[in-house]
Amino acid sequence: MQVPVYIAAGGLSRRMGQDKAQLLLAGRPLVLRVADSLAPWACRVTAVVDQPGRLAGLGLRECVDGGTHQGPLLALAAALDDLQPEEDWLLLAPCDVVGLERIDWGLLGRARCPQDQAAAFVQDRWQPLPALYHRSLKSLIAQRLAQGDRSLRGLLDAARARGVAAPEQWQDLQPVNTQAQLLLAEAKLLSIPQENL
């Protein structure tokens, strides 16, 4: 599976108190760690940002979501608009999760059927990031945004979405939304015992 990978990196990072995408984890910005993790599955990697040049200097291609901070659903809409004419699918990922390289994202690609509009892992409920999304979702997304419904899980409920059982490695993924989670992720990367944090 080789698809365009888009990384949602235009959020306000309220819980962290600073831009998560450029936050350094073991000396490397989080958004670049995500890009590195998903590179084997990507024909190209693009960061979806709220304003042009937000990640200037990191060497990532950017597309802009309009800057209205309506969450990952708006990032998905911008990513789908950015697809090349010959491209139908993309993988949308968050900028703030560590360990994505442990997942075989080809599981989603192989599970797709021609009529599907999305493919996402399920662990008790939809896991919408990262997940595969089809360009045919554009009108449904526009409708839901107009209604003020910005839920990616709601989109998957409403779309022709393929659910795939989350692999065992899913439990190894680490969100980085707070300073405490950043310290924990760094400790695991550097093999620092938690009791020494």
**In the chain, how many domains are there?**
1
Q: For residue 99, give the H/E element and its range.
A: none
CATH assignment at residue 105? 3.90.550.10
pLDDT in tens, the chain (197 residues): 799 999 999 765 555 556 788 889 888 999 999 999 999 999 999 999 998 998 988 999 999 997 667 789 999 999 999 999 999 999 999 999 999 999 999 999 999 999 999 999 999 999 999 999 999 999 999 999 999 999 999 999 999 999 999 999 999 899 888 888 878 878 787 764 444 33
pLDDT at 77: 96
Residue 13: per-residue pLDDT: 58
Predicted local confidence at residue 123, as pLDDT: 95
- If phi over 0 gives left and psi between -120 and 50 gives alpha, with beta otherwise, what is residue 3? beta
| Residue 183: per-residue pLDDT | 81
Question: 124, exposed or middle or buried, with CB in 10 Å at 0-12, 13-18, 19+?
Answer: exposed
DSSP assignment letter at 67 = S
What separation in angstroms does the CA of 21 have from each of 30, 49, 77, 99?
A: 5, 10, 19, 15
The model carries a pTM of 0.91
- The range of the structural domain enclosing residue 159 comes to 3-196
